[in-house]
Amino acid sequence: MIIYTISSCEKFLDITPSTGNVNPSTLKDFQEMLNSDSIARCNFILADLMADDLSFPAFARNEFYGNSYMYAQHIWGPGEMDFMYKSAYERILQMNILILKASEVKPKNEDEKKGLAIAIAQAKVNRAWYFLQLANIYGQDFTNGKAATELAIPISLVPDASVKPKRGTVQAVYDLVIAELTDAIATPDFPVMGNTIIHPGKASALALLSRTYLLMGNYAEALKAADECLALKSSLLDYKTLTASPLKLLDQSRNPEVLLGKTGVDYDLNLTYAFKIQISKSLDSLFTSSDYRRRLNFDYYDIFANEDGKYHFNYSIAVPEVMLIKAESLARTGKPKEALPILNLLRKNRIENATDLQVADIEILPTVLQERRRELFCHGGLRLFDLKRLNREQRFLKNIVRSFYDSENYQDTTVAIIKPNSPRYLMEIAPLITNNNKDIIPNPR
């Protein structure tokens, strides 16, 4: 019997449970763990609310959605659970158990040896994805020049209840992510694509590696990994064939672009507020009426697509992101003209009657970044991660302004301005976490 249920553990926020009651032991057990779509389901809506792609049409209340959107002094109440942190470490724990237990199995034959190695590689890719997410939500950007000393997140790699991990540095998390992905890519017989979109393969590992290097500002390595990924898979989906944006896992499974399926689902925002989240003015200004991404994701009233009272988000790793990483890396390494054909190809699959861009070399990088924003909004925090790294460059500095419409005076009223590189760009670590583990140092606010 397979037993790997972990969500009932109350102490996982700061202590990883032992594997006493979590004991998969065969290749089939490990494959069943990887078959669970819970690994691909998560919710990082607060990271997207902290960016500049969405807006609240009315004043936000004092709760974690509104607090995140307003960059408040405190996001969480004393007894509130941070669901992003909680669910991510649940999934990391699953992968820790799999990697530990699979490494202990003595294979009976070559097929089992190969299967175990692939299962471990897939677990490492999943674990790396969650560590990279957490590091960029709770830690500083790598490009601030202090990665070796700035704190990110606890690095928990073994399911041991006696271990209370401290926060590792940004550098340590990135080193781990690169090591995990490099190991997975080098695994013999690691398939290009997994059995389904929730199973990692070499293409998704290379894509995630290119994302990692981009966030580090290592554009040469980001370009190399992106090229290797696109050599394996470069399919695009023509959005004019769609009637709805491919947000859910089932939709992603039919999308030839997707390398690794990840989806976000939020149930509670609609229960908290009567209004619906809308596209921000700054993002809306980047779209034309002929852009299918605007048409499919936001309605006539600028409201983000929601269904049955739930918001669905596409967090997948897919070909378009890798193309944009390649284009940005080319623009930043002295080859801006080579970036334009990449943008034009993507736009032909996103915009009705798209024409080729004609852009001066000096404007190609900003053009790439605008296209990246159009393609990857509400993508599990990628825009927030971009804001943090781009704020290190004088030409891309940006204030985040929060304003609400004043119906009495018929104008927008500014209620908050967040300056570039503010400590509020880092998600608060919930008091419930720091109280349970005094070695976890809170983020400055």
Closest by CA position to 26, among listed 46, 49, 1, 51: 1
Rounded to two decimals, the pTM is 0.94
Closest by CA position to 305, among listed 352, 247, 381: 247
DSSP E strand boundaries for 282-441: 306-307, 310-314, 317-318, 400-406, 411-418
The single-letter code of the amino acid at 62 is N
Contact 310, 265 (CB under 8 A): yes
Task: For residue range 161-180, list pLDDT tens digits in order.
Answer: 678 899 999 999 999 999 99
Task: For residue range 1-55, list pLDDT tens digits in order.
Answer: 333 443 333 332 333 334 444 689 999 999 999 999 999 999 999 999 999 999 9
In whole angstroms, what is the distance from residue 112 CA to residue 116 CA? Answer: 6
What tokens appear for 242 in the block? 């769609």
Q: What is the pLDDT of residue 13?
A: 32
Q: What is the pLDDT of residue 22?
A: 61
Q: What is the pLDDT of residue 274?
A: 84
Burial class (CB in 10 A: 0-12, 13-18, 19+), 247: buried
146 three-state secondary structure:
coil
Q: What is the pLDDT of residue 20?
A: 40
Average pLDDT of the chain is 92
Task: For residue range 228-286, list pLDDT tens digits in order.
Answer: 999 999 999 999 999 999 999 999 999 999 999 999 999 999 888 888 899 999 999 99
Average pLDDT for 102-128: 98
Of the chain, the percentage scoring pLDDT greater than 90 comes to: 84
Highest mean pLDDT among 2-6, 57-61, 106-110: 106-110
Contact 184, 122 (CB under 8 A): yes
Q: How confident is the model at residue 320 (pLDDT cuts 50, 70, 90)?
A: very high
